[in-house]
Amino acid sequence: MDTLTALGKFREHVETYVKLNDVEWQALAPLLEVNILKKKKNFAEPGKVCNQIGLVVKGAVRYFLVKNGEEITGYFSFENELLSSYKSFLTRQPGENYIQALEDCQIVTLSYKAMQQIYGDVLIGAKMERFGRLIAEHYLICYEDRVSSFVTQTPEERYNKLMETGGDILQRIPQHYIANFLGITPVSLSRIRRRIMKISA
């Protein structure tokens, strides 16, 4: 995908939250970068401050951390979704997890420095401040739902829900990552799948 199209995707994404006129977009666009992240390469690493927020324009990434020598996957981002070690990005403290490309990715990034600069911009600051609020609110709701699913649902119910609403996650992502995402082991997910197969058969 060429740079201009990629930037356009970023504009589209911003505009799902706040409308921009062309002048405002001209103020924002120069601060963006379009990057390639090859499969297995890291966008963020534990111990390092995450200095970018990004929009996945093409590809998919996986969030994970290493515990007892094992990788535990907590999240994914796909096309037209933001990615960032957001806590690290916001707090300016070293992050705890990797963000790694599952496929070759194209990512439009905005640096923390540019983000702060733009919050203070007379022309577009207020709108970006609102954008910042709305994306935080958006992801807050996502996390709220996810916490609720852990408290109120069994692993099997969570998996069923993911089949209904997860889009192409189940096709694109290796199953043992999905298991982590659901808070269970890969072996356990395999058993759940078998239980479901038997019931529906």
Partner DNA sequence: AAAAATTCTTATCTTTTGTTAACGTTTTGA
Partner DNA sequence: TCAAAACGTTAACAAAAGATAAGAATTTTT
Residues that bind a copy of itself in the complex, under the rule CB under 8 A: 65, 67, 72-74, 86-87, 90-91, 96, 119, 125-126, 129-130, 132-133, 136-137, 139-141, 143-148, 150-152, 180-181, 183
41 touching DNA, by CB under 7 A? no
| Window of 26-34, 44-52, 86-94, 173-181 that interacts with DNA by CB under 7 A | 173-181
The number of angstroms, rounded, from the C-alpha of 148 to the middle of its chain's C-alpha atoms is 19
Q: Is residue 62 exposed (0-12), middle (13-18) or buried (19+ Cβ within 10 Å)?
A: buried
Q: Of 122 and 199, which CB lies nearer to DNA in the complex structure?
A: 199
Name which position in 175, 196, 199, 201 contacts DNA (CB under 7 A).
175
Give the 3-state secondary structure of residue 33: strand
**How far, in Å, CA of 157 to CA of 21, rounded?**
44
**How far, in Å, CA of 71 to CA of 164, rounded?**
26
Shortest Cβ distance from residue 9 to a copy of itself (Å)? Answer: 23
